[in-house]
């Protein structure tokens, strides 16, 4: 990736989190100046140390809540000249969002509104939004392209991503000179190959791969595979897993597209995934193969709100952003395991 001669200053919300921290590393390595805002609701300041160990640079850090407009105004006033925002900060547990909808709507939507307002008020120009394949629901046709109709989400969390996209699109339309790209992620997994940063859920993981690595590390007794009666080769659900470092690169390319004036519209959307559907059992087997660790698992009933299968058509990202996932499932799983071993202090 090319380095910038004129340094652009980018605010990364949720930059201490899982995808955020990996993206900060790629931004710094490409030559961007990075400012992080995080409230550490599902992350720790340790990831900032990891970023510094990998890049040799410690990004400026603000501990604040993106849904707090006054705190955001203070941040933008102090930092001056923020050129763009990559907006990750959000609550993301699907099941929890069903139980606590107002918390999810308040936090995720207010944060997005505030970020768009900050761009307008302080003259920033670029927004990359962390969206999700959840906006497609259970699609009628697979793989999904960006033209696949969005469906009513199955959860308040999913709704916040769908409405978040709309808020950004409408604001960009009404503004002069703001560009935005929404990246619809499929299932990012894995960790930085240095094992300095990775996914560190506080409490019991909801997502598959951290649950697998914690089971392998002996933190969890058994992985429960949710649903064995889906319409798939082995009866378990299908997702499109890809490496988080590949996802981080997609954010940098999206920013570069806007900065270089290559956007075809002021608001654009790209799917980002491996472009391949894999079952839960295939993930488990691949993990066992690549790490040599046997997993204790059982197949149980379906998880409420889960869809059966989804994977991406990523040809638009490939032609327009010059992006595709480069790492294999096995490579991603191995980095996830190396990270877990480091966190747990497992040697071998």
CB of 73 to ligand UD1, least distance (A): 29
The only residue of 64, 307, 315, 331 in contact with ligand UD1, by rule CB under 6 A = 307
Whether 247 contacts 22, CB under 8 Å: yes
Window 257 to 286, contacts with ligand UD1 (CB under 6 A): 280
CB of 280 to ligand UD1, least distance (A): 5
Under the binding rule (CB under 6 A), the answer on residue 310 touching ligand UD1 is yes
The only residue of 133, 168, 244, 255 in contact with ligand UD1, by rule CB under 6 A = 133
The only residue of 303, 324, 342, 344 in contact with ligand UD1, by rule CB under 6 A = 303
Rounded to whole angstroms, how far apart are CA atoms 165 and 186?
A: 16
Under the binding rule (CB under 6 A), the answer on residue 247 touching ligand UD1 is no
Rounded to whole angstroms, how far apart are CA atoms 13 and 111?
A: 9
CB of 254 to ligand UD1, least distance (A): 18
The only residue of 22, 92, 257, 276 in contact with ligand UD1, by rule CB under 6 A = 92
Under the binding rule (CB under 6 A), the answer on residue 134 touching ligand UD1 is yes
Q: Are strands 278-279 and 238-239 parallel, antiparallel or unpaired?
A: antiparallel
CB of 109 to ligand UD1, least distance (A): 16
Cα dist from 291 to 84, 138, 217, whole Å: 40, 32, 12
Under the binding rule (CB under 6 A), the answer on residue 51 touching ligand UD1 is no
Q: Which of 18, 104, 136, 157 is catalytic?
A: 157
Which of these segments, 4-12, 49-57, 88-96, 246-254, binds ligand UD1 (CB under 6 A)?
Answer: 88-96
Q: What angle do CA 183, 121, 252 make, to 5 degrees?
A: 30
Rounded to whole angstroms, how far apart are CA atoms 182 and 136?
A: 14
Under the binding rule (CB under 6 A), the answer on residue 306 touching ligand UD1 is yes
Q: How many CB atoms lie within 10 A of CB 203?
A: 7
Whether 207 contacts 330, CB under 8 Å: no
CB of 304 to ligand UD1, least distance (A): 10
335, 104, 128, 339: which is closest to 241 by C-alpha? 335
Q: How many CB atoms lie within 10 A of CB 163?
A: 16
Q: How many CB atoms lie within 10 A of CB 173?
A: 12
Say which residue the tokens 């505030």 belong to.
Answer: 114
Under the binding rule (CB under 6 A), the answer on residue 325 touching ligand UD1 is no
Residue 157 falls in the annotated catalytic set: yes
The only residue of 34, 66, 172, 225 in contact with ligand UD1, by rule CB under 6 A = 225
Active-site residue list: 157
């Amino acid at each position: 990736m090319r380095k910038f001669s004129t340094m652009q200053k980018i605010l990364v919300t949720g930059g201490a989190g899982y995808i955020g921290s990996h993206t900060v590393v790629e931004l710094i390595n490409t030559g961007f100046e990075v400012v992080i805002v995080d409230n550490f609701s599902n992350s720790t300041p340790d990831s900032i140390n990891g970023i510094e160990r990998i890049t040799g640079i410690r990004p400026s850090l603000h501990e604040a809540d993106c849904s707090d407009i006054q705190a955001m105004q203070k941040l933008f006033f102090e930092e001056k000249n923020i050129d763009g925002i990559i907006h990750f900060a959000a609550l993301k547990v699907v099941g929890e969002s069903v139980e606590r909808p107002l918390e999810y709507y308040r936090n995720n939507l207010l944060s997005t509104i505030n970020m768009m307002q900050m761009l307008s008020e302080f003259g920033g120009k670029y927004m990359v939004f962390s969206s999700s394949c959840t906006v497609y629901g259970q699609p009628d046709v697979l793989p999904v392209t960006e033209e696949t109709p969005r469906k009513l989400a199955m959860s308040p969390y999913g709704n916040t991503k769908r409405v978040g996209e709309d808020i950004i699109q409408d604001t960009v339309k009404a503004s002069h000179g703001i560009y935005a790209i929404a990246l619809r992620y499929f299932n990012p997994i894995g960790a930085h190959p240095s094992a300095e940063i990775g996914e560190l859920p506080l409490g019991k993981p909801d997502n598959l791969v951290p649950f697998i690595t914690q089971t392998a590390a002996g933190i969890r007794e058994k992985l429960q595979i949710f649903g064995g009666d889906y319409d798939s080769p082995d009866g378990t659900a299908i997702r499109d897993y890809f490496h988080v470092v590949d996802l981080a690169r997609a954010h940098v390319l999206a920013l570069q597209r806007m900065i270089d004036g290559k956007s075809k519209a002021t608001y654009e959307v790209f799917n980002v995934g491996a472009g391949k559907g894999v079952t839960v059992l295939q993930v488990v087997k691949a993990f066992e193969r690549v790490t040599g660790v046997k997993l204790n698992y059982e197949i149980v009933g379906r998880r409420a709100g889960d869809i059966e299968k989804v994977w991406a058509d990523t040809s638009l990202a490939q032609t327009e952003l010059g992006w595709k996932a480069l790492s294999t499932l096995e490579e991603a799983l191995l980095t996830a395991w190396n990270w877990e071993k480091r966190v747990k202090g497992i040697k071998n």
